[in-house]
Amino acid sequence: MQGEEWNLREEGTFENLKFLYLEEVTLAKWEFGEESFPMLEKLVLLRCHMLEEIPPNFGDIGSLKIIKLVGRPQLEYSALEIKQYVEDITGQDKLQILGPDNIPLYMTGGIPYKSDIPWAIWNLPLTQWESLQPECATRVGVSESDMPQGSKQA
């Protein structure tokens, strides 16, 4: 594969391919026909920095069980859209989307979310940190001498 586009509609099929591993490819766009990967079970994309999205037709591959992404968080959204499409069609949660270290990724409110990190911590706005600190210190019974200057106990 060389260049920015890989169009498999013209190149045929990979009839027996079960595992497709692409690392640091220079593809920006990838197209393939419905029958290009009829037996594919696992797709792994590592540091494919140019790739804009995972082709949506991966959702039409009934044998696909896993999409693993490493080093390109921008692809998480298209992978999770494919997962949702598969669930809508089959009524089953049969496609797993994995991030680094095989951590499952989920869609929460339209934002990719790493399941091993509590949502409140992962999405905590830094601008609220100072305003929360005195309240938290008071709540756990910290003495006034240990509280930040300028804050008051409730």
Q: pLDDT, tens digit, for every residue of 58-107?
A: 999 999 999 999 988 889 999 999 999 999 999 999 999 998 888 888 76
129 shares a domain with 111: no
79 shares a domain with 19: yes
**Distance from C-alpha of 123 to C-alpha of 99, rounded to nearest angstrom:** 18
Phi and psi of 131, rounded to 5°? -70, -25
pLDDT at 105: 80
67 shares a domain with 97: yes
pLDDT at 144: 57
**Average pLDDT, stretch 33-52?**
91
* pLDDT at position 13 over 70: yes
Higher-confidence position of 69 and 8: 69
Higher-confidence position of 148 and 51: 51
101 shares a domain with 76: yes
95 shares a domain with 39: yes
pLDDT at 78: 92
Token duo for residue 140:
């756990």
**What is the Rg, in whole angstroms, of the alpha carbon atoms belonging to the chain?**
22
128 shares a domain with 110: no
How many structural domains does the chain have?
Answer: 2
75 shares a domain with 28: yes
Give the chain's length: 154
**Average pLDDT, stretch 38-56?**
93
Nearest 5°: the CA angle 94, 99, 103 is 75
40 shares a domain with 87: yes
**Distance from C-alpha of 42 to C-alpha of 79, rounded to nearest angstrom:** 13
pLDDT at 113: 47
105 shares a domain with 154: no
80 shares a domain with 47: yes
Three-class secondary structure assignment of 35-79: CCCCCCCEEEEECCCCCCCCCHHHHHCCCCCEEEEECCHHHHHHH
pLDDT at 138: 42
151 shares a domain with 95: no
pLDDT at 11: 65
**Average pLDDT, stretch 12-29?**
90
63 shares a domain with 12: yes
Query: Parallel, antiparallel, or unpaired: how do β-strands 42-46 and 19-23 relate?
Result: parallel
Domain limits at 31?
Answer: 5-117
